[in-house]
Amino acid sequence: MINVVAIMGRLTYDPELRTTPTGVSVVRFQVAVDRNFQRAGEERKADFIDVTAWRQTAEFVSKYFRKGSMIAVEGSIQTDNFTDKDGNKRKSVQVVASNVSFCGSKAESGTTGANSNPAFAQPAPSYASADNSDFEEIVDDVEAVMKESVAMHKISDVEVASYLSSGVDSSYLTYLGQVDRTFTVGFDEGKYSEIQDAKEFAASINMKNDAKVITPEEYWDRLSDIQYYMDEPVADPAAIALYFLSEEASKKVKVVLSGEGSDELFGGYNIYCEPLEHTSFNKIPMPIRRFLGAFAERCLPRGMKGRGFLMRHGKTLEERYFANATNIFTEREANKILKNGCKPGIQKITKPLYDRVKAKDPVTKMQYVDLHLWLVHDILMKGDKMGMANSLEVRVPFLDKKVLELAETLPLDYKVRAPQTKVALRAAAERNIRSKTAEKKKLGFPIPIRVWLKEDRYYSRVKEMFQTDAAKKFFDTKLLIKMLDDHKAGKNSNEKTDNSRKIWTVYIFLVWYDRYFGHGKPVHPAMHTR
């Protein structure tokens, strides 16, 4: 007995993913399929076929297909008998999908003549790029260019390893590169460690993983030495963890691959979803939004739900976005805590960048600013310096010229489709690595600073630094200590609004300043007595 069916057509509505009471994913959708014959003088008719997909197939459909998308479905016919509300016996017929795939080019999808297709009168999605490829072809291109880049960056006369977190970027590189081994670091504090996920992924592709648990003591004790290697004050907590990661790798290899640059090129930061959300609120006239934002900043308590939203949306993108994770202090806060105020103001730095991309969409503008500020002056800088501090060469395949050229052509919808990020890249990765990893939300490099600052030994260490002459030279130390005390007491316990990053930013500057100027001259770690 054989029950096999194959259909190709357009979705008549957006598929909606649902979950059964037992936790199984299911999606139902309808495909409009033109009939093979047409009577003289009549328009070609179409059949509207109901389809059901389950589990991973259902999740795939809900992620990548929309109303009007061309789709190919393989499966089997299933019939069910039922009684309607009037007591009449009925029969339903549907296709249960075993496999789905993209099909058809943009031209074939009817972007130029959709009304001539009776099966679906709406045009296929219009792409914001001059590239005439459909989604599957774009994913093919992403996969091809990444394979080529990784292969080129792996050329070496010594072993090549890879940094490995629990996210899609390093995992995809590791898979494509088939490197000799991988390295991961983490912490004992539960959610601040990616070691277990990294080990599971490495095992799934038969790859060796070396992991190190960083203790709080060694993290804090090495701060001064690491700031020496950094040359300039860098308050990104991940920089210190990256030092330990490169130190571990350098014990066994001389070259590693890193996934840096993927987020900036392919649209990976969660904040990139923001311009695509809350669009109704943004229709409110800007003067009203400015008033609401100012009111929220001055009058609403920190941690109150909605405060941050009102503050952000009370400003234009150019006024509120200065590159990823740089807005630790608002200018108002910085002017209060700095003795000489915040000068010249960060907008003078970002304005020339925004001026170059005036005609672009908000997400592309954010990417452009991140490429020129965050990527260059934080991500790549700390990666290079922490690697070189351990005589380790760090290579970044995502920043190959050909990868950049491809990423520039991607339509917005293939970069960010809120709440999903890196749409095209994740689709390419999902062809080869497990969905759990390919679809994992951006985590960053989690560091338990907020936890440590509540502990007496680290609280005391920071407080002592906040009372030094150097601190008094630059900052209002009363405000610093109040900020520290409030954090320890839990007055800003909301994880999204706590003081830990503010405290850390000031503290690292003072650690750096002490190392370079507190003893008359910088002292190399080999000669420094901790």
Q: What is the average pLDDT score of the chain? A: 85
pLDDT tens digits, 110-158: 333 333 333 333 333 333 443 444 788 889 899 999 999 999 999 998 9
Query: Which of 99, 144, 92, 128 has its CA nearest to residue 7?
Result: 99
What lies within 8 Å, CB to CB, of 196 at 6+ separation is: none
Every domain range in the chain assigned CATH 2.40.50.140: 5-112
Distance between CA atoms of residues 106 and 123, nearest Å: 10
| Strand duo 46-54 + 89-102: pairing | parallel
Least confident of 196-200, 261-265, 331-335, 389-393: 331-335
pTM over 0.95? The answer is no
Class of domain 138-264+373-410+420-438: alpha beta
The pLDDT tens digits of the residues spanning 57-88 come to 888 888 888 888 888 898 999 888 877 667 78
For residue 19, the cross-strand partners are 25
Q: Does the structure show a pLDDT above 70 at 103? A: no
Report residue 521's pLDDT band, with 50, 70 and 90 as the boundaries. low
Interatomic CA distance for residues 285 and 407, integer angstroms: 34
CATH superfamily of 5-112: Nucleic acid-binding proteins (2.40.50.140)
